Amino acid sequence: MSTFKEIQGQNIRSLSSDPSPISNGDIWYNSTSQTLKGVVGIGAWSSSPALGTARYGLMGGLGSSTAALAIGGAPAMTTVESFNGSSWTAVTAYPISAISIGAAGTQTAGIAFAGYGPGTTYSTVANTYNGTSWTSIPALNNGRYLLGSVGTQTAALAFSGGISGGRSADSEEWNGSTWTEGNNMINSRESLGAAGTQTAALGFGGNAPGVTADSEEYDGTSWSEGNNIPTATSGIRGSGIQTAALGMGGNPTTTATIDYNGTSWSANPATLAVARYSSGSTGAPGGGTSALVYGGHPTPVSSATAEVYALAATTKTFTTS
């Protein structure tokens, strides 16, 4: 059996009192209380500045918790707002008026596609964003809204979604110049949560019809069944990567947050202050350590509120229980 020093390169310190300041990963033995203690990250939601325009019918995927972009929304609109970590600012409008537009990439190198709105029905329209303006790019092969969307401006994935007459399992990949049909999801659905990248994606929950707890993983070639999320829901939003993801909100309207570790889903004790679904969401590029959720549909109204998720360094006493 390996020792702590062999694993971490140092011994556990013995201290008469808890150290200050502390940081994630610290571990020590408190000789006064005769307890083994350490610092772990505990997640919590806190209030963040509100959108300038209340709306639901937003999607996830574009930006980070401190540099996000909210695109379109219901009622169908072209309004786009940029978030810098402190406030939301109206920026160049989206070329079409639509709800539930898929998006991926960063605030200054983004891509948006699909959606539904007056005059566009189930849209195939796609555009890139450079931090200032929108540029038209080749259209998707199949129009849809309420879809899953992940990736970057030059390597995006559009999957599933609502289509005329039902729901789709279709999956398409963008390589920076063209959209190519990929292998379909196993189960058709709309209004699902999404996280990950073009070659390591995660799709979960949604309306199939009827709310589902089903979760699937994509490896860049094919989709496979994963373990179900704790509670069937639609309108859930996601952030993070395939092996460290967060899911938040959902319909029936909930404040719930869930975690995925690459194998299984579990309830996260952190809860949203505002129960919502069909919101916008972004997260940390490296995993489920931070997230931003904004807008959405706290029944029966549209919301402008936003919340941010972060890990706080917390001292924990380790026991055998």
For 150, how many CA atoms within 13 A lie in the half-sphere containing its CB?
Answer: 31
Tokens 């038209």 correspond to 136
The SS3 of residue 7 is helix
Which of 137-141, 251-255, 270-274, 298-302 is the least confident region? 298-302
Is it the case that residue 11 has pLDDT exceeding 90?
A: no
Whole-number Å distance between alpha carbons of 309 and 293: 8
Q: Which has more confidence, 177 or 11? A: 177
CATH number of 47-310: 2.120.10.80
Report how far Cα 79 is from the mean position of its chain's Cα atoms.
Answer: 21
Which of the given ranges, 26-30, 115-119, 303-307, has the highest pLDDT on average? Answer: 303-307
Backbone φ, ψ for residue 5 (5° rounding): -65, -40
Is it the case that residue 4 has pLDDT exceeding 80?
A: no
Q: H/E element holding 5? A: helix 4-8
pLDDT of residue 13: 85
Give burial (CB, 10 Å; 0-12/13-18/19+) of 237.
buried
Starting at the edge strand found earlier in the chain, the sheet holding 27-30 runs: 13-15, 27-30, 35-48, 306-318, 287-294, 280-284
Q: What is the mean pLDDT of residues 144-159?
A: 97
Cβ-Cβ contacts under 8 Å for 245 (sequence gap 6 or more): 195, 196, 202, 238, 239, 259, 260, 287, 288
pLDDT of residue 191: 97
Q: What is the mean pLDDT of residues 255-278?
A: 95
Q: What is the mean pLDDT of residues 201-230?
A: 97
Which of 15-19, 73-77, 253-257 is the least confident region? 15-19
Q: Which has more confidence, 215 or 27? A: 215
Would you kindly state where each structural domain of the chain is located, as residue ranges? 4-41+312-318, 47-310
Cβ-Cβ contacts under 8 Å for 149 (sequence gap 6 or more): 59, 60, 61, 102, 103, 104, 113, 114, 156, 157, 158, 159, 194
With a pLDDT cut of 90, the percent of the chain lying above it is 76
The SS3 of residue 262 is coil
Whole-number Å distance between alpha carbons of 55 and 86: 19
Give DSSP secondary structure letters for 151-205. Answer: EETTEEEEEEEEETTEEEEEEEEE-SS-EEE-PPPSS-BBS-EEEEETTEEEEE-
Six-digit token pair at 2?
């390996």
Report how far Cα 225 is from the mean position of its chain's Cα atoms.
Answer: 19
Measured distance between the N- and C-terminal CA atoms of the chain, rounded to whole angstroms = 21
Is it the case that residue 177 has pLDDT exceeding 60?
A: yes
Six-digit token pair at 168?
């789709």
The SS3 of residue 125 is coil
pTM for this entry: 0.87
pLDDT of residue 34: 85
Model pLDDT for residues 237-263, shown as the tens digit of each residue: 999 999 999 999 999 999 999 999 999
Whole-number Å distance between alpha carbons of 143 and 102: 11
Q: What is the mean pLDDT of residues 128-132?
A: 97
Please, which pLDDT band fits residue 28 given cuts at 50, 70 and 90? confident
